[in-house]
């Protein structure tokens, strides 16, 4: 039986930092138990599994209720149109299309760039399009993905790219597109260097390849670099941006590109089943987040730095991280398998054990995700307050120190 | 011209406190009534012990403008003060809206003695001089002159639009293009905002789960899956049934799946299909279907993997498919070892038309798609319904297609609200559709015809003779307002409809269509005889 945790959420960028107390849902199943051991008392749930967990704030809901709506399949929803224009403007592109998810945004982009039989797309071997979209580009688009080794900074070698592009031989598919991911999720939310992006653009132009950016967390990159999103994507033919991640909207992404590309994208969106009707109700949340949540993204980055610093100050090395490598709102924790595996660590962090409440000062349950044999990922977001971070840090320090003391 | 006459006015609800006080009659701004005073001294009361009379008749000399009506006025107020009492009230007159000073902003008020200024969004007394005075007011003129660079879209209901000459017009727009144009009501939005949310990609949104369980139970199937659109719901169903390479589906040649899904089955699903001729009632010949089923040992043939049916059948005019035929089809599919999918976009409408539960209709179907964003009025969303195993595969397909939403409980809540509050009133949409069809029938025009018997649900198909009028022209005519029509109807009515072929115009009623809209639309349809002779 799971504990009902009381979760405090932050002001969600509403200027006045209103504290909204939200009852945590009673989780059915899910990863690991919660609040095991100890008697009674409320448990603070700090859910860092992803920034997709954010729920709309009161201000966002108000914007959603007040939005003017229409049938977007007929192009008559003014709120959706406004969001599309706003995002296109922000990224310096001609047009945009609102879609239900980042997966669909990327799928549409690849399928339009690779619109003829036998195309090839070049992607990093650790990127979301390659690993986490169910092979959709092949399944639906008949597109062959050629993976390039992802470097620790999220980039790949341009030399390797040049070598991989092969033409004019009946054995080869037709190279059509290069995709990059910024920020790079699996590399720990790393921001791709601007200079590399510019060089990549030059290379692609030379090689006659189109360029797409999976910018799910693009605005985090923009905040980290202190440059406009337009500058980052200046040389890209198309960009996808998620509203449902750090920006805190409940649903949706926007794909931006030239007007002609977006017309085709709208068509494909319909064919895939992404044509929604009065979706202005969701687009309104997106517009709200661009105005109110985007300006506070740097706070999520600061939270990561606080957590990273605290982790590194622990002794024993059971769990370590690289604060310098944490550019944005994602932190990768490396577990020493001799002390603890990532799954064990996640379970331990979620559980409240005997004596812990006294040491930490309260009952804290933290959820994270183990992503491979040695790594645990945590993601800060709009619904994580400074108090949550303080409580989390206390728990992390307590747990890591206790783990370091007990070698397996 | 003012008629001076004596009028008897009945004042009711007299209270003891008022007796013996004099009441001053205030002249109306637009009338030349002379202030008079009434003395209630003539009242005979029944004494302190007896009942206090509750009404009295007083005579007032006044000038009353033609068209004004007497009204019985309630007296309430402190007896200490001299009371101003309105003795009669001017009723709103429809012909005023055509007058130059009132054009483009004046409309009827909430009660018949009130008018409404759509520019100031204010209720006004329905007196002509008072309205003129209002139109000359600084605030009204400023608001009227303000040009809105991004005017809200012309939408269903009363809309103020500016024509190319800069003249304002007040139009009653009746949007019958589709039942997808419905807007969420205030109560629906409240339900959306109060929904408990979670991340549905982690299967943690309780509102989405509630909706899925509810719809599965309603159709008496094992499980359901919430998806962004009906197109995706059908695509997922076809792809899930046709999971293996080289599959083929059998679909009606007039079905939505075949005509209006952008060939998604082939484009996205790599599924081949064959069509079976749809009969006018939306069904097809079961014998012919048998003939289309492929020989699995023939390497030249794809493998028949699925049969699809649409209920109600939209292209056939929203016809509810006969129940016994659905059962027969189900039995045949069982015999052939083929799954049966029902595109039930408007299934609840069929259920209302047939007077039977939705579960009964799809009893023999292995999977169903159901839309919340059509007649049910939710802003978006549909459901895939089937067995647990089917839904597990469907969920996977939903993800790869890009239909995995995060806090989608916010729109699922609208669906739940719709099932509770909109589904029970769907029969009204059918009644409204029949009323529209009837108004066309009554014209006995050979240019535009409709068969009343064909109107089963909320869809009306108007057939044009293509001689005097074709579908495109009819739609244009319905959407425009002529001066004669405006004068005859005392209203500027725009009916938005869709030409679905060269000769067929489709009207679809929905929950945003009120009685007044139906009345206006029928008046407009009757008016067409001038243009379609």
Cβ within 8 Å, pair A61-B236? no
Global model pTM greater than 0.90: no
Which residues in chain B touch residue A368, judged by CB atoms under 8 angstroms apart?
none
CA–CA min distance A377, chain B (Å): 16
Query: How far is C-alpha A44 from the chain's CA centre?
Result: 24
Cβ within 8 Å, pair A272-B264? yes
What pLDDT sits at residue B157?
81
Of B183, B229, B406, the CB nearest to A276: B229
pLDDT of residue B165 exceeding 80: no
Residue B133 half-sphere exposure, CB side, CA atoms within 13 Å?
Answer: 10
Of A50, A271, A281, the CB nearest to B268: A271
What pLDDT sits at residue B119?
79
Confidence grade of residue B470 (pLDDT, cut at 50, 70, 90): very high
Tokens 């303080």, located at residue: A390
CA–CA min distance B242, chain A (Å): 14
Give the DSSP H/E element, type plus range, for residue B4: strand B3-12
Of A50, A70, A101, the CB nearest to B404: A101
Which residues in chain A touch residue B379, judged by CB atoms under 8 angstroms apart?
69, 276-281
Q: Touching check for B227 and chain A: CB below 8 Å?
A: yes
Q: Which residues pair with A211 in a beta bridge?
A: A178
CA–CA min distance A83, chain B (Å): 14
- Dist. CA B408–CA B201, nearest whole Å: 9
CA–CA min distance B199, chain A (Å): 6
- Dist. CA B304–CA B293, nearest whole Å: 6
CA–CA min distance A132, chain B (Å): 9
> How do residues A106-161 score in pLDDT, each as one tens digit?
999 999 999 999 999 999 999 999 999 999 999 999 999 999 999 999 999 999 99
CA–CA min distance A164, chain B (Å): 27
What pLDDT sits at residue B488?
87
CA–CA min distance B48, chain A (Å): 58
- Dist. CA A320–CA A171, nearest whole Å: 47
Report the residue of A12, A100, A368 to disrupt the B interface, i.e. the one with the largest count of B CBs within 10 Å. A100
- Dist. CA B160–CA B147, nearest whole Å: 12
Count of positions (residues) in chain A: 408
Of A61, A103, A274, the CB nearest to B193: A61
Interface of B with A in 196-225 (CB under 8 A): 196-199, 201-202, 204, 206
What pLDDT sits at residue B483?
85
Cβ within 8 Å, pair A271-B193? no
Report the residue of B256, B402, B508 to disrupt the A interface, i.e. the one with the largest count of A CBs within 10 Å. B402
What pLDDT sits at residue B153?
60
What pLDDT sits at residue A32?
28
Q: Is the dihedral of CA A88, A91, A94, A96 positive or negative?
A: negative
Confidence grade of residue B82 (pLDDT, cut at 50, 70, 90): low
Tally of CB atoms within 10 A around B125? 19
> How do residues B205-239 score in pLDDT, each as one tens digit?
999 999 999 999 999 999 999 999 999 999 999 99
pLDDT of residue B2 exceeding 60: no
Beta strands in A166-301 (DSSP E): 174-181, 210-215, 238-242, 253-257
Higher pLDDT pick, B36 / B204? B204
What pLDDT sits at residue B64?
41
Of B153, B228, B379, the CB nearest to A281: B379
What pLDDT sits at residue B68?
45
Contact criterion met (CB below 8 Å) for A237 and A212:
yes
Of B232, B261, B404, the CB nearest to A103: B404
- Please list the rounded mean pLDDT of every run of 10 residues in chain A (408 residues): 36 35 33 41 94 96 96 95 98 98 98 96 97 95 96 97 94 96 97 98 98 98 98 98 97 98 97 97 98 97 97 91 96 94 96 92 96 96 97 95 71
Which residues in chain A touch residue B208, judged by CB atoms under 8 angstroms apart?
none
N-terminal to C-terminal alpha carbon distance within chain A:
30
pLDDT of residue B11 exceeding 90: no
Question: Please, what is the Cα angle at A376 between A371 and A382, to 5 degrees?
Answer: 100
pLDDT of residue B44 exceeding 50: no
pLDDT of residue B388 exceeding 50: yes
- ipTM of the assembly? 0.85
Which residues in chain A touch residue B381, judged by CB atoms under 8 angstroms apart?
276
The DSSP secondary-structure symbol of A252 reads: -
Residue B277 half-sphere exposure, CB side, CA atoms within 13 Å?
Answer: 6
Confidence grade of residue B22 (pLDDT, cut at 50, 70, 90): very low
Cβ burial of B120 (10 Å; 0-12, 13-18, 19+) is middle
Nearest chain A Cα to B378, which residue?
A278
Cβ within 8 Å, pair A136-B406? no
Contact criterion met (CB below 8 Å) for A164 and A147:
no
Interface of B with A in 287-326 (CB under 8 A): none
């Amino acid at each position: 039986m799971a504990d009902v945790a009381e979760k405090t959420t932050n002001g969600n960028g509403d200027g006045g930092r209103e504290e909204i107390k939200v009852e945590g849902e009673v989780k059915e199943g899910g990863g690991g138990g919660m609040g095991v051991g100890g008697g009674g008392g409320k448990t603070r749930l700090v859910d860092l599994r992803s920034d997709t967990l954010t729920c709309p704030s009161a201000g966002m809901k108000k914007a959603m209720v007040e939005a003017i709506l229409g049938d977007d399949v007929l192009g008559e929803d003014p709120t959706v149109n406004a969001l599309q224009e706003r995002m296109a403007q922000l990224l310096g592109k001609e047009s945009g299309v609102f879609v239900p998810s980042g997966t669909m945004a990327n799928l549409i982009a690849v399928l339009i760039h690779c619109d003829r039989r036998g195309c090839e797309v070049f992607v990093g071997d650790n990127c979301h399009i390659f690993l986490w979209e169910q092979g959709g580009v092949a399944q639906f688009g008949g597109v062959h993905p050629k993976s390039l080794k992802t470097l620790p900074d999220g980039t790949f070698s341009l030399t390797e790219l040049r070598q991989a592009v092969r033409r004019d031989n009946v054995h080869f598919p037709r190279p059509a597109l290069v995709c990059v991911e910024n920020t790079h999720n699996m590399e720990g939310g790393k921001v791709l260097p601007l200079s590399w992006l510019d060089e990549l653009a030059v290379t692609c132009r030379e090689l006659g390849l189109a360029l797409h950016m999976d910018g799910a967390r693009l605005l985090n990159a923009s905040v980290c670099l202190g440059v406009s999103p337009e500058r980052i994507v200046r040389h890209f033919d198309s960009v996808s941006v998620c509203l449902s991640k750090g920006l805190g909207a409940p649903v949706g992404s926007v794909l931006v590109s030239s007007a002609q590309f977006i017309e085709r994208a709208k068509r494909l969106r319909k064919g895939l089943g992404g044509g929604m009707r009065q979706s202005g109700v969701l687009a309104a949340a997106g517009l709200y987040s661009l105005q109110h949540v985007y300006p506070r993204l740097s706070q999520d980055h600061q939270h990561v730095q606080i957590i990273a610093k605290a982790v590194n100050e622990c002794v024993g090395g059971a769990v370590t991280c690289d604060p310098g490598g944490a550019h944005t709102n994602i932190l990768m924790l490396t577990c020493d398998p001799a002390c603890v595996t990532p799954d064990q660590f996640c379970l331990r962090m979620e559980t409240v054990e005997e004596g812990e409440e006294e040491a930490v000062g309260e009952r804290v349950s933290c959820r994270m995700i183990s992503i491979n044999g040695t790594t645990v990922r945590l993601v800060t977001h709009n619904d994580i307050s400074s108090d949550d971070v303080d409580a989390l840090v206390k728990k992390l320090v307590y747990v890591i120190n206790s783990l370091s003391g007990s070698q397996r | 011209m003012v008629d001076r006459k004596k009028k008897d006015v009945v004042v009711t609800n007299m209270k003891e406190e008022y007796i013996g006080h004099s009441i001053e009659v205030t002249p109306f701004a637009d009338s030349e009534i002379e202030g008079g005073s009434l003395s209630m001294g003539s009242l005979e009361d029944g004494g302190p012990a007896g009942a206090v009379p509750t009404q009295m008749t007083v005579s007032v000399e006044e000038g009353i403008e033609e068209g004004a009506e007497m009204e019985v006025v309630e007296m309430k107020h402190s007896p200490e003060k001299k009371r101003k009492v309105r003795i009669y009230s001017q009723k709103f007159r429809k012909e005023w809206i055509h007058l130059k000073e009132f054009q483009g902003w004046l409309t009827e008020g909430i009660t018949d003695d009130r008018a409404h200024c759509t520019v100031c969004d204010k209720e006004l007394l329905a007196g002509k001089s008072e309205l003129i005075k209002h139109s000359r007011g600084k605030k009204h003129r400023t608001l009227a002159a303000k040009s809105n660079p991004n005017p809200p879209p012309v939408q269903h209901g009363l809309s103020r639009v500016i024509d190319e000459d800069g003249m304002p017009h007040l139009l009653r727009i009746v949007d019958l293009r589709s039942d997808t144009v419905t807007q969420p009501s205030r109560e629906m939005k409240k339900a959306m905002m109060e929904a408990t949310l979670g991340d549905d990609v982690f299967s943690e949104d309780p509102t989405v789960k509630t909706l899925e369980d509810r719809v599965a139970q309603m159709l008496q199937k094992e499980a359901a899956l919430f998806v962004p659109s009906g197109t995706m719901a059908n695509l997922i169903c076809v792809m899930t049934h046709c999971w293996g390479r080289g599959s083929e589906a059998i679909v009606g040649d007039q079905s939505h799946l075949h005509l209006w899904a952008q060939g998604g089955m082939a484009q996205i699903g790599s599924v081949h299909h064959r069509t079976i001729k749809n009969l006018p009632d939306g069904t097809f010949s079961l014998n012919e279907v048998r003939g289309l089923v492929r020989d699995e040992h023939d390497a030249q043939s794809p493998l028949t993997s699925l049969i699809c049916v649409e209920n109600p059948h939209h292209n056939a005019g929203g016809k509810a498919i006969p129940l016994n035929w659905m059962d027969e089809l189900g039995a045949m599919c069982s015999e052939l070892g083929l799954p049966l999918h029902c595109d039930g976009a408007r299934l609840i409408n069929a259920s209302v038309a047939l007077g039977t539960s939705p579960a009964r209709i799809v009893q023999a179907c292995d999977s169903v798609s159901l839309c919340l964003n059509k007649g049910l009025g939710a802003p978006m969303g549909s459901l895939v319904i089937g067995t647990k195993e089917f839904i597990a595969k469907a969920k996977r397909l939903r993800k790869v297609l890009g239909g995995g939403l995060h806090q989608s409980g916010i729109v699922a809540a609208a669906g739940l609200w719709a099932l509770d509050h909109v589904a029970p009133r769907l029969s009204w949409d059918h009644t409204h559709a029949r009323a529209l069809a009837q108004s066309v029938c009554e014209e006995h025009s050979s240019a535009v015809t409709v068969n009343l018997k064909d109107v089963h649900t909320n869809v009306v198909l108007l057939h044009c003779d293509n001689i005097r009028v074709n579908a495109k022209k009819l739609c244009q005519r319905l959407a425009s307002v002529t001066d004669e029509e405006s004068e005859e109807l005392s209203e500027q009515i725009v009916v938005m409809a869709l030409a679905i072929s060269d000769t067929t115009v489709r009207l679809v009623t929905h929950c945003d269509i009120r009685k007044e809209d139906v009345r206006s639309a029928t008046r407009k349809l009757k008016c067409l005889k001038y243009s379609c002779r």
